[in-house]
Amino acid sequence: MPVTLRQKHKKPDVKAKLAEEHFRSEMKDHGLRCTLERIAVLREIYESNSHLDADELFVKLKNKGVGISRATVYHTLDLLLKFHLVTRTDLGHKHTHYEKAYGVENHLHMVCNVCGRVLEISDSRLSSMLETLCRQNGFEPENFTLQLFGNCSCSQETSLPSKHS
Ligand SMILES: [Zn+2]
Ligand SMILES: [Zn+2]
C-alpha cells in the first residue's frame, strides 16, 4: 500500500495513550468518575487530526454507537480544557473548535475567509518570540492558539469553494 498522508490517522498513537492515562489520573485526583463516555470523547479528539466543534464530536460519537448526551460532550470538553488536554480555537465560524493538545506543538492557524481551509503553522521563531514577550512582561506562558484570517490560493483555483471544517 502506498504511503499516503491519510495513514497518519491510523498509526497507533503513543501521545493519545499518554493523554488518556493523564486524563484518567486527573479524574481520579479530582474525585470524578472515569466513565466510558468521557474516555470516548478524548479518544475521538485524539484520533482526529483536525479541529472539531462540540456538535461534530457529538454526531461522530453517536454514529459510533456511543450513548452520550450533548451535555456530557460539553462537560467533558470543559474537563479536558481544565486538564490541558485540548485547546479551544475560534476559527471564525461563530462556534468554538477543539483540538488535541497533549504532545502537540503550539501553532498558528491561518484561516481562509473564502473556503474556510485551515493551515497549521509551527515555527520555533514564533514560539521563541512569544516566550520573549511573556518574559518581558512577567507573564508565565502555558499554551497559545493564534488565528490569522486571510485568503488562501483557493480564489485562484477554478473549483467551487469546499466546505469549511
Ligand atoms: Zn481558501
Ligand atoms: Zn490547530
Question: How many whole angstroms separate alpha carbon 91 and alpha carbon 26?
Answer: 29
94 alpha carbon to ligand 2 midpoint, in Å? 17
36 alpha carbon to ligand 1 midpoint, in Å? 38
161 alpha carbon to ligand 1 midpoint, in Å? 7
Quote the mean pLDDT of the chain. 86
What pLDDT, on a 0 to 100 scale, did the predictor assign at position 158?
A: 59
109 alpha carbon to ligand 1 midpoint, in Å? 13
Nearest ligand (C-alpha, residue 52): 2
CATH code of 106-165, in short, is 3.30.1490.190
Residue 13's pLDDT band, with cuts at 50, 70 and 90, is confident
The per-residue pLDDT for range 99-129, each reduced to its tens digit, is 999 888 888 999 999 998 889 998 889 888 9
Cβ atoms of residues 46 and 40 within 8 Å: no
CATH code of 1-104, in short, is 1.10.10.10
10 alpha carbon to ligand 1 midpoint, in Å? 27
Q: Measure Cα distances from 33 to 38, 79, 146 in Å.
A: 9, 12, 33
Residue 3's pLDDT band, with cuts at 50, 70 and 90, is very low
Q: Where are the domains of the chain?
A: 1-104, 106-165
In this model, does residue 4 exceed pLDDT 80?
Answer: no
119 alpha carbon to ligand 2 midpoint, in Å? 8
In this model, does residue 17 exceed pLDDT 70?
Answer: yes
Cβ atoms of residues 147 and 92 within 8 Å: yes
116 alpha carbon to ligand 1 midpoint, in Å? 6
Question: How many whole angstroms separate alpha carbon 49 and alpha carbon 66?
Answer: 20
Lookup result for grid cell 484561516: 111
Nearest ligand (C-alpha, residue 113): 1
Q: Which three cell numbers, joined as nine digits, stand for 110?
A: 491561518
What pLDDT, on a 0 to 100 scale, did the predictor assign at position 156?
A: 79
The per-residue pLDDT for range 53-80, each reduced to its tens digit, is 999 999 999 999 999 999 999 999 999 9
What pLDDT, on a 0 to 100 scale, did the predictor assign at position 164?
A: 55
